[in-house]
Chain A
Amino acid sequence: MIPPPRVDESTVVLGIETSCDETAASIVMGGTDVLSSVVSSQIDAHAKFGGVVPEIASRAHLELIRPVINEALDTAGVDPERIDAVAVTIGPGLIGALLVGVAVAKATAFALDRPLVAVNHLEAHLYAALLDDPNLEFPAVVLLVSGGNTLLLSMDAPGSYHLLGATIDDAAGEAFDKIARFLNIGYPGGPAIDRAARRGNPRSVDFPRAMLHDGYDFSFSGLKTAVMNHVRKNSDVASDDVAASFEAAVVDVLATKLMRAARDTGARSVVLGGGVAANTLLRSEVDRLARAEGFRVALPSRAMCTDNAAMIAAAGWYRLRDHGPSGLEIGAVPNLALVADTVRTNRAAPGRDHR
């Protein structure tokens, strides 16, 4: 068995991420120093289907993972032998896509005789802001919004956080994707809505803000249906106006709840993460509201908001330090949730199991 590794500022972690449609690898030293971060996007391969096609994604990961890792090593100027640990996303995500990264990570750890660290993709997003701003002040509240999740968390320190709320139906990013597809305005849905919304009038339709003043949970399914009903009944309505009004409703709910959570938990900082955190309106609204109330704001760069492996390597560094390595028998867990053994929760975490 591999002895417990020494984890310090010089520890070099290779991060591998293949949970959805980005093949990514990164070399991070000491948990915060990003020596390289390579992301190969498959957007073009999925564009004509208007969404990520799992089998296409899995095949592309297999083709891309080797050159992506080699580029990460080259850019960082690091030999494989210099890697101290291998961190990999084991979930949540698409099973076929995750398996490619997990297989490569396990083989790498085994061949190099280095510890393997299983990383929760959602947990990793929490470290993205820290990579951009190592001086982030805690406690912080984090709004994590992506295609698969919408989570509101409070974070006392790296590795110490608890869940405040989550979507009870659709993730915010899923609503963006589905509405973009419904309006036929392009792919990926997030940037397409963002562009259309800049041209449209956000006040043209007053879409519902579900649960706006009710707890920390979110609901976007009703909004999705409301948008569709509106368009079906008003076939002459301008897509740009619908996109702008829809976006305004989503951002209103997200920003309102984030700010309330910041006040309620006595946070010093407000943090955004996940693919939807690249949305122009969400960034400007959170920035404006947070500053007005005297919070520090951490808006990770767009590259750090979207899926990348630097955050996986960073999360792996903390996880290795605090919990030690994972066994070589681990598998991919498509429905992995942020669970009680890694997170101090103030409510039951979703206890889904996987196939």
Chain B
Amino acid sequence: MYLHADNLDDTADIARVIARFLRTGDIVVLAGEMGSGKTAFTKSAAAALGVTESVTSPTFNLVHTYAGDAIKVHHVDLYRLSRTDEIEDLTIDELARSGVVLVEWGDVGDDVIGDHLEVRVAVGEDDDERDFALRPVGRRWDARWEKLRGALAGHMVDDWSGL
């Protein structure tokens, strides 16, 4: 499914809506180039899950974990990794057992990371515009997919206009 955000509020809203559908065990893979807003997306999603502290970039330490209202939020960044062994060492599936996991640059570990929701972000024509492509990998999202589409209908577009 393709989404378009005219401004930062739209982007935050998309993140919040997706967050409402997240439950323990879910992995969200965030793809998109540097500066596209992967951390910003995570901030909005984490806030929607009840995280009150600052969600800071996990690039340096690879994994940050926050307590939400009823769920843990694990924020992972693969930016510095060079081998898929290292992705496995992060034990993303184990993290998912205790909460939701959002993985920046997660697309490079597609074949190592289990079932997940891929969220691809691209900068639009205007600095604050963003284009999103959402894609479920595996069957985990089957039952929720139509409901998610319905909840995001206001942002939906027919085509991917991102890069």
Contact = CB atoms under 8 A, between A and B. Distances in A.
Does chain A touch chain B in the assembled complex, meaning CB atoms less than 8 Å apart? yes
Interface of A: 49, 51-56, 92-96, 147-149, 166-171, 174, 178, 182, 217, 221, 224-229, 232, 334-335, 348, 350-355
B82 A94 contact: no
Given A53-B80, A53-B82, A182-B34, A354 B65 contact: yes
A350 B62 contact: no
B61 A334 contact: yes
Contacts of A53: 80-82
A166 B59 contact: no
Interface string B57-81: 1011111111100000000000111
Contact of A170 (B57, B63, B66, B81): B57
Given A56-B82, A228-B34, A169 B57 contact: yes
A217 B65 CA distance: 20
Q: Max chain A CB contacts within 10 Å: which of B55, B64, B90?
A: B64
B86 interface: yes
B54 A93 contact: no
Nearest to B94: A355
B57 A55 contact: no
Contacts of B91: 355
B127 interface: yes
Contacts of A225: 35, 37, 127
B40 interface: yes
A170 B62 CA distance: 13
B34 to A, nearest CB: 6
A4 B89 CA distance: 38
B62 A229 contact: no
Contacts of B123: 229, 232
Q: Max chain A CB contacts within 10 Å: which of B43, B61, B95, B123?
A: B61
Contact of B89 (A96, A167, A348): A96
Given A53-B80, A224-B35, A351-B67, A174 B59 contact: yes
A174 B54 contact: no
Contacts of A228: 34-35
A273 B133 CA distance: 42
A170 B65 contact: no
A334 B37 CA distance: 24
B39 A221 contact: yes
A317 B102 CA distance: 39
A217 B56 CA distance: 12
B142 to A, nearest CB: 30
A348 B81 CA distance: 31
B146 interface: no
Given A147-B60, A224-B34, A55 B82 contact: yes
B9 interface: no
B85 interface: yes
Contacts of B59: 170, 174, 178
Contacts of B82: 49, 53, 55-56
A271 B44 CA distance: 34
Contacts of A94: 61-62
Interface string B115-148: 0000000010001000000000000000000000
B159 interface: no
B63 A335 contact: yes
A92 B57 CA distance: 14
Nearest to B75: A352
B40 to A, nearest CB: 7
A225 B33 CA distance: 11
Contacts of B55: 169
Q: Max chain B CB contacts within 10 Å: which of A166, A335, A354?
A: A335
Contacts of A335: 61, 63-65
A55 B86 contact: yes
A229 B127 contact: yes
B34 A178 contact: yes
B35 A348 contact: no
A352 B81 contact: no
23 contacts: A51-B80, A53-B81, A55-B83, A93-B61, A147-B60, A167-B54, A169-B40, A169-B55, A169-B56, A170-B56, A174-B57, A174-B60, A182-B34, A221-B57, A224-B34, A224-B35, A225-B35, A225-B37, A227-B35, A228-B35, A335-B61, A335-B63, A355-B94
A225 B36 CA distance: 7
A348 B91 CA distance: 29
Given A52-B80, A182-B34, A350-B53, A171 B39 contact: no
